[in-house]
Amino acid sequence: MYQLSKDEMLEPDQSVYVALHAMSASWPCLSFDILRDNLGDERSHFPATSFAGAGTQADVAKNNQVHVMKMSQLHRTQKDGDDDDDNDDEEDDDDENIDEDAVLEYRTIPHLGGVNRVHAQYLPSPRPAPPVSKPYHVATWSDTGKVHIYDIRPLVEALSTPGFVPDNACTSAPVFTLNAHSRAEGFTMDWASSGSNSSSLRLLTGDVHSKIYLTTSSSSHFNTLPQPFTLHTSSVEDLQWSPGEPTVFGSCSADCSIRIWDVHVKGRRSVIGLEAAHDSDVNVISWNKNTAYLLLSGGDEGGIKVWDLWNFKESTQYHKPSPVASFAWHDSPITSVEWHPTEDSILTASGADDQVTLWDLSVEHDEDEMGVNEDSQGEEVPPQLLFVHQGQKDIKEVHWHPQIPGAVMTTASDGFNFFKTISV
């Protein structure tokens, strides 16, 4: 990959973006999550609006905050020589490709300590955000070793409804604080809803001391189960609930392994596992919500791998399953991976090499094609690589928008990007 000199700056090719916006908050945010809203699914018109929750890394612990954000006026990208296209004809309220600055509004919650991870309560499509009388929970991992759970629904309403004033006494303090990790720092968590009972939630949290705790909820309170899951031998890096089996979850670790667990198995032991999934730390995983036997992983060596979980069952000390797909495009640690919410062959990844990549596993190499696809530096480009987004520094997390098809949001040390490409 080409390395910029000190005085050089990347300029995006606007012709390959449907929309591209950069925004920043008061402090850098290592983590964020997109919040479901009541504006509808499968939204394609512009200007778009998106809601998100994020946590800061401030200069001192007491200055940190949880941001509940509304990004609006997310216009289409102006392209040189644009004519009215078919989409504009069909959508009278579209912005006619006028490029304008996005508007970022947010409400804040005080948070003692830097926020290592933010994760919103899982709301499956097409379920909208809950009514203002019901909670919408967001969990944070603090660098103090505590996990806090907040009800951010009143703050979303304040951003959505002019004149609505939330009760600060209710929104400024967590509804629950998880202390089971004994001040061990952590960077991963995952929510799951318990079937059709939206008031019964489950939250997994993992720490640097290799412990995973399960917290459950009822209509009145949260409860953390005292016995952790402890088979990993190093820091737990990421956690994912199975999209098809409500008691099953996956984990990955700095011990290079990926494990699959069932909370009903006695002794808190994993059901299946792969001891050397990557050559280095396994930083992140993502479970395909449309094809539940596919698991995506990203490693510290920069590799992206796709696993068929049926093959995990055949794993022994003499037989190591091979990934069904493997890519080595990134040359630095992978910081985030995520499957597309509706297309089971499409995924995105971000790396410490300041790249966000979009991939489509359904694309195959055409043996009849003349020549080899190469980038400007002569490096061979995998046919599955659809798009490379650059321009941010120290990218930490990337998410698809669940209600705006093809839209992607990222966070980095220099702020947030919201973009949609012509490729997806």
Which position has the higher pLDDT, 97 or 365?
Answer: 365
List b or e across 361-371, with b for residues whose CB sees 16 or more CB atoms inside 10 angstroms: beeeeeeeeee
Q: Find the range with the poorest average confidence among 53-67, 237-251, 329-343, 353-367.
A: 353-367
Burial of 144 (0-12, 13-18, 19+ CB in 10 A): middle
Give the C-alpha separation, 409 to 347, whole Å. Answer: 13
The model's confidence at residue 125, banded by pLDDT at 50, 70 and 90, is confident
Structure tokens at 373: 């696809």
Between CA 128 and CA 398 the distance in angstroms is: 22
Buried b / exposed e along 48-81 (16+ C-beta atoms within 10 A): bbbbbbbbbbbeeeeebbbbbbbbeebbbbebee
Quote the CA–CA distance of 192 and 116 in Å, as a whole number.
Answer: 20
| 3-state SS assignment for residue 155 | helix
Overall average pLDDT of the 200-229 stretch: 94
Strands 282-287 and 294-299: antiparallel
Report residue 135 as tokens: 């909670």
pLDDT tens sequence across 283-329: 999 999 999 999 999 999 999 999 999 988 766 665 688 999 999 99
Residue 258 backbone zone (phi > 0: left; psi -120 to 50: alpha; other: beta): beta
Q: Is-contact 251 272, C-beta < 8 A? A: no
328: which 2 tokens? 């080595």
User: What is the arithmetic mean of pLDDT over 47-59?
Assistant: 97
How far apart are alpha carbons 222 and 87 in whole angstroms? 47
**Burial bucket for residue 336 (CB in 10 Å: 0-12, 13-18, 19+):** buried
Residue with tokens 């300590």: 113
The string of pLDDT tens digits covering residues 106-124 is: 999 999 999 999 999 999 8
- The DSSP line for 66-125 is EEEEEEEEEPPPP-TT----HHHHH-TTS-TT-----EEEEEEEE-SS-EEEEEEPP--T
CA distance 57 to 26: 10
